[in-house]
Structure 1
Amino acid sequence: MFCWTELGAEHLGIIQSLLSICRLQGIDPYDYLVDVLQRAGTHPAKDVAQLTPRLWKEQFAENPLRSDLYRIRGQH
């Protein structure tokens, strides 16, 4: 309704679903997105399923990749 286009609404629905799945899995959506967006360029395409929230939690959640802003804010 507020997305201007059908494509915008579809993309918003995907993002909202992803964030909801993170919350259901007990994952901080910010940590998940920062980590996955940094891994996306180098992660093997054959293992892309590892980047879904449930599998990401098992494999990467204990030591997620952080943004430079995380270090600047002193949240080591």
Structure 2
Amino acid sequence: MGRKAWLFCWTELGAEHVGIIQSLISTCKLHDIDPYTYLTDVLLRVNEHPASRVLELTPRVWKEQFADQPLRSDLYREMKPQ
């Protein structure tokens, strides 16, 4: 992502959200976590996970607690070679 990519965010709020997502993806890469697996697991888990334990969903802590058995979407099962 370069400097000109921010022109496509349309608003300051949009740019802030893009920055959050890019930060999560970069943090995943720093911790040798597949960003797709992490984001899929967290988005599936967030509905049932207690808000008081949100720290567990950060990439570093997630890797220690959930990386061995990540939640998968139904699309993963369809895409996985048999």
Q: Quick check: TM above 0.5?
A: yes
Which protein is bigger by CA-based radius of gyration?
2
Quick one: which amino acid aligns to residue 19 of structure 2?
Answer: G
Quick one: which amino acid aligns to residue 8 of structure 2?
Answer: F
Question: How much does 1:75 deviate?
Answer: 4.8
In 1: Cα distance, 2:81 partner to 2:74 partner: 11
Once superposed, what is the RMSD of the aligned Cα atoms? Answer: 1.2
Q: What whole-Å deviation, never above 9, does each CA across 1:43-72 have from its counterpart, x for those lacking one?
A: 011111000000000000011000101111
What is the aligned partner in structure 2 of residue 12 from structure 1?
A: 18
What is the aligned partner in structure 2 of residue 72 from structure 1?
A: 78
Relative to its length, the structure with more helix (as a share) is: 2
* CA 63–75 in structure 1, closer or farther in 2 if over 3 Å, else same: farther
Quick one: which amino acid aligns to residue 30 of structure 2?
Answer: L
What percentage of residue pairs aligned between the two structures are identical?
67
Matches within 5 A, 1:28-67: 28-67=34-73
- TM value normalised by structure 1: 0.94
**Which structure 2 residue ranges, 5 or more long, are not aligned?**
1-6
